Amino acid sequence: MLTKRIIPCLDVKDGRTVKGINFVDLRDAGDPVELAWQYSVQGADELVFLDISATDEKRKTMAELVKSVARQINIPFTIGGGINEIADADILLNSGADKISINSAAVRNPQLIDDLAAGFGKQFVVVAVDTKAINGKNYVHLNGGRIPTGIETKSWVLEAQERGAGEILLTSMDHDGTKGGFDCKQLQKINRMLSIPVIASGGAGSREDFAEVFNETDVDAALAASVFHYGQILIPDLKQYLKEQGVLVRQVNEE
């Protein structure tokens, strides 16, 4: 049976991971490649790298990173951050990325989704959506939740699917950073509207939060960053716990 996916997200700036990490056997905590390798050995099902640097060298640095990651690990990985045009995606996919994730660029220019899907195939295009509630309704936000767009989240995810998104990565900005659990109510509502997979993001603080999102919604995957980076949740423990809670997961025997 198809298993639920657990996806650590790594923030990368100028080729280095940003958030602190305290894995005991890491030689270089800032090296995204080593961290990625560690996660893959622990049983992460996929990885997402989010480039938050803002330099002119960005495209080149990221392509180099993608090549190094592809050399070291063999689970699927997605690259996001600063992909504004076909050429950005082209260089990343050709360097070995399995998928690319677009966020603000897709809101500003929705045609980009069509173009990427036509150019590379739907399965390569993840549309990341940052959502935040205003007076009880959810709206798409840009720049980490700072800029409201006035676009309702439910209409945007449907449009993204229609235009050729292969997956939706839905981050609740109201839950993100709170470690109080995923926004299950909204996730289930969005997931029911779509036929493409939804990745839940924002709010993971404990193993119970992951069990809750998989038992109370039908999302395919859950993504988190800091709980994994700081070693607060270890992936093998999380998978074992989820299995005990009746969630289908893939477990890796560490060699």
Partner 1 sequence: MIAIIDYGLGNIRAFANIYKKLDVPFKVAHTTQDLQDVSKIILPGVGAFDYAMGQLEASGMRPKLEELVLEKKVPVVGICVGMQMLARTSDEGQLPGLGWLDAQVKKFDEHSIQYATHLPHMGWNDVVPVKENKILTELEKDAKFYFLHSYYFHCNVADDIIAVTDYGVKFSCAVNKENIYGVQFHPEKSHQYGIQLLKNFADL
Site for partner 1 in 18-77 (CB under 8 A): 40, 45, 70-71, 74-76
Residue list 125-164, contact with partner 1 (CB under 8 A)? none
Decide if residue 102 touches partner 1 (CB under 8 A): no
Q: Is 246 in the site for partner 1 (CB under 8 A)?
A: no
Kindly state whether residue 247 participates in binding partner 1, applying the rule CB under 8 A.
no
Nearest 10 degrees: CA dihedral of 43, 165, 172, 134? 180
When the beta carbons of 13 and 250 are compared against partner 1, the nearer one is: 250
DSSP character string of 35-90: HHHHHHHHT-S-EEEEE----TTHHHHHHHHHHHHHHH--S-EEEESS--SHHHHH
- Residues 79 and 124: their CA atoms lie apart, in Å, by 10
Q: Which of 63, 126, 170, 198 binds partner 1 (CB under 8 A)?
A: 198
Active-site residue, selected from the candidate residues 11, 45, 98, 183: 11
Point out the catalytic residue in the list 130, 176, 183, 220.
Answer: 130
Scanning 29-37, 171-179, 219-227, 231-239 for contacts with partner 1 by CB under 8 A, the matching segment is: 219-227
SS3 198: strand
Q: Binding to partner 1 by residue 11, rule CB under 8 A?
A: no
Q: Which is nearer to partner 1, 173 or 198 (CB)?
A: 198
Secondary structure of 150-183 as H, E, C letters: EEEHHHHHHHHHHHCCCEEEEEECCCCCCCCCCC
Which run of H or of E encompasses 241?
A: helix 235-244
Q: Write down the least CB distance from residue 47 to partner 1, Å.
A: 11
Q: How far is the CB of 170 from partner 1 (least distance, A)?
A: 13
Pairwise CA distance, residues 115 & 94, whole Å:
17
Active site includes 14? no
Q: Report which residue type is found at 138.
A: N
Binding stretches for partner 1 (CB under 8 A): 1-5, 40, 45, 70-71, 74-76, 96, 98, 121, 123, 166-167, 191-192, 194-198, 218-221, 250, 252-253, 255
